[in-house]
Amino acid sequence: MSEEVINNIEIPKNLRINLTSIPPDQAGVPLTRKRSEGPFPRVPNTAILSICKHMERNGYPKDSYDYYDFEMLYPSDEEVREYFRKYRPHLVGLSVPISTGYSHVKIISKIIREELPDTLIVMGGYLAGSSDAVIKCSDVDMTVVGDGEIAWLKICDLMTEEQIAAGPRNILDEEKLKKNKRNIFL
């Protein structure tokens, strides 16, 4: 069991975290042109860049997470399924900067849940203003409202080797959450 120890937090070597950008377009409506064909350079999802930087600052190595730029790539449902089937993240963070991304959240979270029943799916961004609807009507497990860097890091820190073995979604167990000293609710 070789683990890196940085700032008293043991980061499992096999930890796989995914961050996915969700676009504002309605799911099922094809794009009129590729994102790369637009007249202006495209800025990647700033929230994900900021969250990744925060993880990096706190000792998470680059090979512990992957940024899936769904917004840029605009893959088909089958390609999304293939990506998650191959990468098999323990923790997924969907970033929805514009609330109209809801239809994509429903579809993508369903695909992830079908492929990875034990994976914890978290959602952040402006759509978190409608957290009740998201939690009730999609396969998202948990939402983060407001700035996400600190909350996200706390969720990542919960992904210990034991937690991964027990199933990352097990942290949703109320009793375990109460016992957990690193409270994720800010």
β-bridge mates for residue 5, sequence order: 10
All residues at 6 or more sequence positions from 9 whose CB lies less than 8 Å from its CB, including other chains: 58, 59, 157
Residue ranges of E strands in the chain: 3-6, 9-12, 17-21, 65-68, 91-95, 120-124, 142-144
Burial, 59: exposed, middle or buried (Cβ in 10 Å; 0-12, 13-18, 19+)? middle
The torsion region of residue 68 among left (phi > 0), alpha (psi -120 to 50) and beta comes to: beta
Only one of the segments 7-15, 76-84, 147-155, 156-164 lies at the binding site for ligand B12 (rule: CB under 6 A); that segment is: 147-155
Question: Residue for token digits 């190595």?
Answer: 61
When binding is defined by CB under 6 A, the residue of 9, 72, 73, 98 that contacts ligand B12 is 98
Q: Work out which of 26, 34, 46, 79 binds ligand B12, going by CB under 6 A.
A: 46
Give yes or no for residue 67 binding ligand B12 (CB under 6 A).
no
Which residue in 87, 126, 131, 154 binds ligand B12 (CB under 6 A)?
126
97 binds ligand B12 (CB under 6 A): yes
Q: Which of 11, 92 has the CB closer to ligand B12?
A: 92
**Using CB under 6 A, which of 11, 15, 47, 121 touches ligand B12?**
47
* Site of interaction with ligand B12 (CB under 6 A): 23-24, 43-47, 50-51, 93, 95, 97-99, 122, 124-126, 144, 147-149, 151-152
